[in-house]
Chains A and B, each alone.
Chain A
Amino acid sequence: MSKILKKFITFYHKLGSYPWFYKFSGIAIPYVAFISLIPLFIGLGWGIFYSPTDYKQGDVYRIIYMHVPAASVSQSIYYTMTIAAIVSMIWRMKMAGIFIKSMAPIGASFTFLALISGSIWGQPTWGTWWIWDARLTSTLVLFIFYIAIISLYSSFSEKKSADQAVSILTLVGAVNLPIIKKSVDWWNTLHQPSSIKLTESSTISLEMLYPLLLSIIGFYLIVLLSGLMAMRAEIAKREINKEWFKSL
């Protein structure tokens, strides 16, 4: 066990090195691309074409195969950014700043997808495109935080100051995360409570659940792939004049 822990700590420390991460991500990207596309396309294909039609909603429920994974990754990305912000604030690790800068646009795009797909799904099922429901509003706040982080970063010319400023803003936005999660329990919302539960049995049919789980896995792997690519590009941007990058 201690050997595994030691290896993990060594790996974690190596992640802080720009040249090491640049080389590592270059090797990892093709493999991650291959393994991410398989569950994504099987999950979406299975869900859209082969899973049974819902007896109440008909085929429109199939938006679930895009909406739920997008909503899940949009929150998870912010959780990881919060950890990176803490690391950046305490240890001043430069890679944490790169992580936040690279992940914010990815998080914003998936939050946008969750909001738009939810709205499109809401129109035929709830009879409205939008309602100021606690879940919807807190997700909109998450989207605004992502946009604010992107905007704040671009307003700085000095990267070190930008990293510190966005770390503080990321930590402020983290307050919203438990609100999103618990909004359906704390308030009487139009948005339904979670159908997939880790501790209890899910309230969704298994024929619909399996493609949904595959789709969720696919989305998480796509986020990993996009993150690796975005961080690699950001490292190249910051280190373009450094000797190690020139020697590549």
Chain B
Amino acid sequence: MIYDFNDYNFHVWFVFFLTLFLIGLNLIIPKFKLKKLKTLQEIDKD
């Protein structure tokens, strides 16, 4: 079990947070793009 940032545990935590960041990025970017396009569509309708 690792709970601290001592020694090489930092390496594990860094990779863990990088993983979450990249997964998050892959999910947020298309969501944001779609939201932007829908807003444009709404403006166009008005």
Contacts and interface: CB of A to CB of B under 8 A. Distances in A.
A240 B45 CA distance: 12
A109 B22 contact: yes
Interface of B: 1-3, 7-9, 11-12, 14-16, 18-19, 22-23, 25-27, 29-31, 33-34, 37-38, 40-41, 44-45
Given A44-B16, A59-B2, A63-B12, A245 B30 contact: no
B27 A240 contact: no
B26 A226 contact: yes
A113 interface: yes
Interface stretch (A138-146, A179-187, A227-235): A227-235
Given A109-B26, A236-B38, A245-B41, A63 B33 contact: no
A62 B8 CA distance: 10
B37 A237 contact: yes
Contacts of B33: 233, 236-237
Q: Name the prevailing secondary structure of the B interface residues.
A: helix
Interface of A: 40, 44, 48-50, 58-60, 62-63, 66-67, 70, 102, 105-106, 109-110, 112-113, 116-117, 120-121, 123-124, 222, 225-226, 229-230, 232-233, 236-237, 240, 245-246
Q: Name the prevailing secondary structure of the A interface residues.
A: helix
Given A70-B19, A120-B14, A121-B15, 16 more contacts: A40-B23, A48-B2, A48-B12, A48-B16, A58-B8, A62-B12, A63-B15, A113-B19, A117-B15, A117-B18, A120-B15, A226-B30, A237-B33, A240-B41, A246-B41, A246-B44
Contacts of A246: 41, 44-45
11 contacts: A60-B11, A66-B18, A70-B19, A109-B22, A113-B15, A117-B18, A229-B27, A233-B31, A236-B38, A240-B37, A246-B45
